[in-house]
């Protein structure tokens, strides 16, 4: 079995794969990474593992993980199953590298736009096996927070699906502006890509996948665990014994 670990700014996800099948996903605070890894190891016979750390883990925790696991740390020198044409590859986030690996592995002969709706919204485009780049935009929660942080009177709200495009009070106006704004942005970006690449496959992932997927006009494949799936593809690509 393989263990995939994806560390974000505050939380981490760990996934157990048996061959190509995702068996289990565990979400925990990143400070708990050692104890949670030990729990997983007690239940599963892990042979190989990979870690992606968007937020930096301490050297002490990384050293301990290496003691527990046969571990690959994903970085810009890791072998990946795609051609990378990004102009500044050393600045490309490891989460975006994982998503590109998923796109190429799953749709090797297609043009693929992968949209990750999390803290930020990232758009990553793979042109038949070659990663070209994409875009980065504020995510849902970041937009809600910015309205509160950069004004004196607007409240901080939790994400909510608007009942109407016309907000009839301040709260409803915020929900309408944030949610419909982001939905129309995503649909607009997809349509721009479609004008140039008509055979386009669009995939949506990230923490806000389920909230946004039902509101988009374009046909998409929705899967909230694509970073984990992509990391597993990179691990398989780097395994010496398979």
> What residue numbers does the annotated binding site for ATP cover?
6-13, 119
Pairing label, strands 11-18, 21-29:
antiparallel
User: What is the C-alpha to C-alpha distance for residues 126 and 108, in angstroms, rounded to an integer?
Assistant: 9
User: What is the C-alpha to C-alpha distance for residues 8 and 5, in angstroms, rounded to an integer?
Assistant: 10
Which residue, among 108, 56, 58, 64, has the nearest Cα to 82 in the 3D structure? 108
User: What is the C-alpha to C-alpha distance for residues 242 and 230, in angstroms, rounded to an integer?
Assistant: 17
Query: Is 95 a catalytic site residue?
Result: yes
Residue in 2, 95, 124, 208 annotated catalytic: 95
User: What is the C-alpha to C-alpha distance for residues 141 and 229, in angstroms, rounded to an integer?
Assistant: 24
Per the annotation, binding residues for substrate are: 86, 93-96, 170
Question: Angle CA(7)–CA(42)–CA(40) in degrees, nearest 5?
Answer: 20
Per the annotation, binding residues for K(+) are: 116
Report the catalytic residues: 95
């Amino acid at each position: 079995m393989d263990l995939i670990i994806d560390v974000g700014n505050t939380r981490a996800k760990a996934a157990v794969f048996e061959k190509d099948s995702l068996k289990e996903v565990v979400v925990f605070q990143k400070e708990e990474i050692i104890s949670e890894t030990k729990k997983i190891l007690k239940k599963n016979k892990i042979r190989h593992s990979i870690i992606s750390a968007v937020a930096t883990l301490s050297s002490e925790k990384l050293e301990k993980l290496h003691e527990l696991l046969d571990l690959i740390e994903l970085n810009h020198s890791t072998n990946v199953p795609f051609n990378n044409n990004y102009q500044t590859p050393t600045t490309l986030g490891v989460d975006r590298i994982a998503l590109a690996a998923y796109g190429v592995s799953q749709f090797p002969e297609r043009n693929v736009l992968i949209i990750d709706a999390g803290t930020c919204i990232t758009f990553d485009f793979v042109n038949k096996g070659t990663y070209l780049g994409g875009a980065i935009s504020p995510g849902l929660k970041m937009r809600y927070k910015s309205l509160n942080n950069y004004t004196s009177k607007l409240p901080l709200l939790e994400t909510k699906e608007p009942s109407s495009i016309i907000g009839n009070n301040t709260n409803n106006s915020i929900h309408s502006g944030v949610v419909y704004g982001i939905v129309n942005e995503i649909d607009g970006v997809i349509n721009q890509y479609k004008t140039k690449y008509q055979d386009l496959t669009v995939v949506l992932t990230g923490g806000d996948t389920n909230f946004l997927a039902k509101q988009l006009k374009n046909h998409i494949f929705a899967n909230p665990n694509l970073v984990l799936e992509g990391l597993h593809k990179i691990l398989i690509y780097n395994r010496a014994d398979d």
